Structure 1
């Protein structure tokens, strides 16, 4: 304990006053080497004529141009600017431009419904709205905005005829460039939202100092592949992790590939052409990318490091990713974290260790950055190996939930943050994640562990989620590759040693409710299961055949 406290004190002294400023990401990289290449998979919506290939210096110049236009339109330091627009990398450029002039970007996922966005805009207390013509005339159509936003700015396209007072950034071309504005390290500088797996997303308020503390351990991990490998990112542009990923590799001078479309049919040729040495995407996207292991052109053969940070990974997927690489000693690096804290624990796998991967083991709490404890319902520490509530103490925690400060404070206990997950720490200090507190089912030791096991036993599964049925019984919901019917006999053999479950329910993959990071919205899925009449039970998949006999 004394050694841990010493490490914390040293890091606090070394990093005090530092800040993570997304408005400076590309400019700092350009000062290092303005010719570092960045390849996109889709033209920028705001500048489609500029193609797919850029340098860091060119993107820094575009950010300066956008920042000048935002200032000319009237945006000022500390103003909140809600970004809700068509999915494209220009979301990141607009966010960086907003931050460049000291305003606070609030990033709202393109996957959110317009009604949810309207509620979040109200919580943001009349922000600027930065959007595009397609979104304004689509998801936001029929939703009056004048009472919830200050003004609406268009980054691309034209406003619908019924829109009043909408401004276009195109009208401010040639605006005078501005010097950057750096907010105080403790001042709100970025707003993102939680995954929304349990309802309306929470708005998480970040500041530069907490972002810096999140970045330090991640840059250490990226150090061995600095400058040498092309880094490919395919993840949502509205999550703080994307900007941390940019900082990791822009700061080290790595060439980068930025992809919007995760479809394997699109990603395969992109990776075959660009040959990345590092890739990172959402865990559920990695499941889809399993088919790239045998795709023409061997698109994963060049990968030296696979990164995953949003959630625990299925062991089957880790094994297939590593097996697809032709590098001598590829690694799969996994971080466990959440929007409110950032990365909390991590570990890596090699080809030799991947077959022993435990999907519930998410690694060691990051030494010097994260203190973790497991407590019972009364808040008392439990013994090693016993499952309880996970709580952490760190310098990486967000400032608050915007408009829900009481909700934020309710998760704090003497400086310890209640993560919302259940788990235990083994005798080696490794953290094992069991379930979300709100998703626990009495008859299951761990829904997530059962899902990992079934993904490994049934290679045709593209997704499996176990939710509580109308009477609290576990109901497995499955989706298969190619939407082929799941064979009841194979299901029966795969589940013979698991606790009793209701008959599985098969849904088309695209009908499963998801968040911006492609996590399943389990409460919403449970509602759908309760309200959708079950199909006739196929022979061999009734409850008795699944009851661990």
Structure 2
């Protein structure tokens, strides 16, 4: 089977992650998959696999889950320590016809309890480490069974004890039935559970299949995104069907990352914006760990132009580019744009891109106040295409409130230029009176002050714009340099400096702005 044939099949029949490994093995059984860590569920498997071995492991795990009692249509919550085996287990659940519910290991036990109850007595697939954190939850009442992927625990079924279970025939769920459920970032409270189907997952591959077509050679793709995220489905599917060697990364420490890149020399890196910011220091490493990179890609959040510029200049590849895709869990990739080595530093970070080619999402901006959307009167950003998630599990009214016919309201505000570029200014809930765009301020100031490792502008207790700053190595802020850098933004209040480790973040490392604003208000109240 050719990769293009498999891709066309997915576009027709949908993307079933339980079938993907064996489909990829049919394309090329020898495509290598390398890990920077050991698999918890299969510690003997090692860190170097072929796609054929990977597919066999998924089939084995599916047999074990079936032996544990998992059946078609059953919801299986996967909440475990961050590990590449999460995606393998999700594929195994799908292979026996179960509905995968991916929960980030970064979620606290109370939130996990709420989400488990929302999906109504699911199977919980976890490991001993995470199960030990859930002792305050009445698991016997809110789950149908508990399965551990690693470690033995009382009142739980251990997959290790089911090795050698008879293999079972894969179960293919209907193309428009719930297939994989992921959750939103939770920046505004308890995360929403986003329902993806085989159809919506397959459609989301369209624009990204074209992006990967820029790579003419079968070079390594490094993937450093949360294993629980809907983006992992697309990233793994695309790389494996294109027969690209895959480097699946969990570790984010720059020293570890440098060693992996120097050893495997990836041509394509997919990573979180905040991870790329953390790795900026590697651009000065004389060993040049980014020298081999042809394409940098990030799809989770807007990224600062200065970061893109540093990364691109650290590449030694001709025509290296940074491709940014704007989207969200509910809609997938919506718009995108490419940045290049000699112009990225001058880019307007609020211009998140243009509509992608035929078959991809459509974008519109609708008025918020009766005035035509513009830079001064930004409107609501909405998306329409068949890749939009079909529901919020257990919160249908909340989902319906965001949808008008085929159009989905993203919660972001912005405008489109006369050339069609979408400018995203802020999340609606993060807008501050008198501030055009907090994100724009952050882009500009960060580009002027390299000593800042993070800057987040949030609304203060009196509706003022408060810049919360973190510095490299938590060094004291030079107030004179700060005043010079913010001269164009007189609406900013005095800066508040905190250690970067204290920034509240989501599972995809986004700063939880509302939580940060609440912290400032509480601290002010305590001082009063």
> Structure 1 length normalisation: TM-score?
0.92
Which of 493, 502, 510 is matched with 2:493 structurally?
A: 502
Deviation at 1:415, TM superposition (A): 2.7
Do the aligned partners of 2:184 and 2:194 also contact (CA within 8 Å) in 1?
Answer: yes
Which of 376, 387, 399 is matched with 2:378 structurally?
A: 387
- Residue 545 of structure 1 corresponds to none
Deviation at 1:366, TM superposition (A): 2.3
Give the alignment of 1:371-382 within 5 angstroms.
371-377=362-368, 382=373
- Residue 428 of structure 2 corresponds to 437
- Please say if 1:29 is aligned against 2:24: yes
- Inter-CA distance 184–323: structure 2 relative to 1 (3 Å threshold): same
- Residue 5 of structure 2 corresponds to none
- Residue 175 of structure 1 corresponds to 165
Unaligned runs of 5+ residues in structure 2 are 1-7
- Residue 143 of structure 1 corresponds to 137
Deviation at 1:227, TM superposition (A): 4.9
Do the aligned partners of 1:385 and 1:426 also contact (CA within 8 Å) in 2?
Answer: no
- Residue 150 of structure 2 corresponds to 156
Do the aligned partners of 2:149 and 2:160 also contact (CA within 8 Å) in 1?
Answer: yes
- Please say if 1:448 is aligned against 2:439: yes
- Residue 520 of structure 2 corresponds to 529
Structure 1: how far apart are the matches of 2:268 and 2:322? 10
- Residue 344 of structure 2 corresponds to 354
- Please say if 1:338 is aligned against 2:328: yes
Task: Figure out how many residues of one structure are paired with residues of the other and give that number.
Answer: 519
- Please say if 1:69 is aligned against 2:64: yes
- Residue 41 of structure 1 corresponds to 36
Deviation at 1:79, TM superposition (A): 0.6
Deviation at 1:384, TM superposition (A): 8.8
- Residue 129 of structure 2 corresponds to 134
Do the aligned partners of 1:80 and 1:104 also contact (CA within 8 Å) in 2?
Answer: yes
Which of 214, 217, 224 is matched with 1:224 structurally?
A: 214
- Residue 8 of structure 1 corresponds to none
- Residue 50 of structure 1 corresponds to 45
**What are the superposed Cα offsets for residues 455-492 of structure 1, whole Å, 9 maximum, x if unpaired?**
10111111111111111101111111111111111111
Alignment partner of 2:519: what SS?
helix
Structure 2: how far apart are the matches of 1:372 and 1:253? 32
Deviation at 1:17, TM superposition (A): 4.1
Deviation at 1:141, TM superposition (A): 2.2
Alignment partner of 2:139: what SS?
coil
Alignment partner of 2:175: what SS?
coil
**What are the superposed Cα offsets for residues 137-170 of structure 1, whole Å, 9 maximum, x if unpaired?**
1x212222111111000000121xxx4x311111
- Inter-CA distance 325–459: structure 2 relative to 1 (3 Å threshold): same
The two structures, once aligned, show a CA RMSD in angstroms of: 1.8
Deviation at 1:27, TM superposition (A): 1.2
- Residue 83 of structure 2 corresponds to 88
Alignment partner of 2:13: what SS?
coil
- Residue 546 of structure 1 corresponds to none
Do the aligned partners of 1:386 and 1:425 also contact (CA within 8 Å) in 2?
Answer: no
Do the aligned partners of 2:375 and 2:414 also contact (CA within 8 Å) in 1?
Answer: no
Alignment partner of 2:467: what SS?
strand
- Residue 547 of structure 1 corresponds to none
Structure 2: how far apart are the matches of 1:187 and 1:379? 38
Deviation at 1:373, TM superposition (A): 1.4
Deviation at 1:379, TM superposition (A): 7.8
Deviation at 1:25, TM superposition (A): 2.1
Do the aligned partners of 2:451 and 2:471 also contact (CA within 8 Å) in 1?
Answer: yes
- Residue 268 of structure 1 corresponds to 258
- Residue 4 of structure 2 corresponds to none
Do the aligned partners of 1:271 and 1:299 also contact (CA within 8 Å) in 2?
Answer: yes
Alignment partner of 1:246: what SS?
helix
- Please say if 1:103 is aligned against 2:98: yes
> Structure 2 length normalisation: TM-score?
0.95
Structure 2: how far apart are the matches of 1:396 and 1:118? 29
Alignment partner of 2:414: what SS?
strand
- Residue 408 of structure 2 corresponds to 417
Deviation at 1:78, TM superposition (A): 1.1
Unaligned runs of 5+ residues in structure 1 are 1-12, 537-549
Do the aligned partners of 2:207 and 2:357 also contact (CA within 8 Å) in 1?
Answer: no
**What are the superposed Cα offsets for residues 282-328 of structure 1, whole Å, 9 maximum, x if unpaired?**
01111111111012421111101001111111000000010000111
Alignment partner of 2:181: what SS?
strand
Which of 272, 280, 284 is matched with 2:270 structurally?
A: 280
- Inter-CA distance 65–380: structure 2 relative to 1 (3 Å threshold): farther
Shifted more, 148-157 versus 294-303: the winner is 294-303
**What are the superposed Cα offsets for residues 341-372 of structure 1, whole Å, 9 maximum, x if unpaired?**
00000010111321321110011022432222
